[in-house]
Amino acid sequence: MKFLRRHLFRVVSYAVLCVVVRVVAQELSVRNGGDQLHISAPTLHFLSGKPLERLHNGSIVAYDFQLSVLAESKTAVLRRNFERFDFSYDIWEERFKVKRMRSTQSTADHLTAAMAEAWCLDNMAFPSTGLPFDQLVWIRLEVRAQEAKEPQPVPGEQGISIASLIEIFGRASKAKQPQYWKLEAGPMKLADLRSTGGRSAD
């Protein structure tokens, strides 16, 4: 009975995890350009859904990117690169402007959606020096669109009202909103990438 309960718990947990972490099965290509690893994901379109709607309404939408090199078991992270990109959408020209926020700030504008997405991935490259070239590794890309700012408690409203609690718990699950994307490539040897001068490792 205890085993059954535990097993059931695992199944439910996995199901919840699958819902919470929406894994988008799309292609991630990795290539080695000199001392840097470059990625591309032609089928990944994160400019969509609610974030795109907010952009079309004239708001700035921030996207957080994480590119990780994982050991074969996927449990150890060998290297990680974070970046944030602020997007805005030109109401008149119907083009995107992207600004890289964390490392050296750079900007690109007059971009179509596809160009803006590609520009972000181009700017996620990181040095390959120090990585184990002869071991099997995984490359993982995670993208998350920041939600619009949560409504703060209004000044002058005392305490937490039942309405505010309902507002908080009644919001649609973030997992159900297509604002998180995850792509993986591997297992592969980085040496193979170098020897071939870059290849797609899907």
Partner 1 sequence: MKVFTILLLSLPLLADTTRNAVPSDNVNSRYTVESVSVTEKDRERLSKQLKEDMERLVGEKFEQGIVDNLARRIRKELRAASVMAKLSRGTTPEHVRVDFESKPRKMEEDADLTKFSYHSQQGWTGGVEMGFDAGPARVKFGVQSDGNELLERYAGFTAGVAVPIGDRVQVRFAVESFHEQWNQATIDALARNTAAGKNDIPGVYRTRNNFEPAIRVALARNLTLTAGVSFEEFQTQFPAARTEGSHSVITTLRYHRQWADSDTSGQELDAGYSLRAATNFLDSDYVYTRHLVNALYSRKFHHQEVLARFGAGSMNGNAPLFERFVLGNSRTLRGWNKFDIDPLGGSRMIYGSTSYRYRVLEVFYDTGSVWDRKENAVVRNSVGCSLLFGSLRDGLAFTVGFPLRDGHVQPLFIMSANF
Q: By CB under 8 A, name the binding residues for partner 1.
A: 57-60, 62, 64, 66, 68, 77, 80, 82, 84, 86, 88-92, 95-97, 99, 101-102, 109, 142, 144, 146, 148-149, 151-152, 154-157, 161-164, 166-167, 170
Nearer to partner 1, 38 or 144 (CB): 144
Nearer to partner 1, 58 or 127 (CB): 58
- Are β-strands 126-127 and 36-40 bridged in parallel, bridged antiparallel, or unpaired? antiparallel
Nearer to partner 1, 101 or 191 (CB): 101
Nearer to partner 1, 32 or 184 (CB): 184
Q: How far is the CB of 64 from partner 1 (least distance, A)?
A: 5
Other Cβ atoms within 10 Å of 185 Cβ, number = 19
The residues that bridge with 67 in the sheet, in sequence order, are 81, 141
Where does residue 97 fall: left (phi above 0), alpha (psi -120 to 50 degrees), or beta otherwise? beta
Q: CA-CA distance, 87 to 65, in Å (whole number)?
A: 13
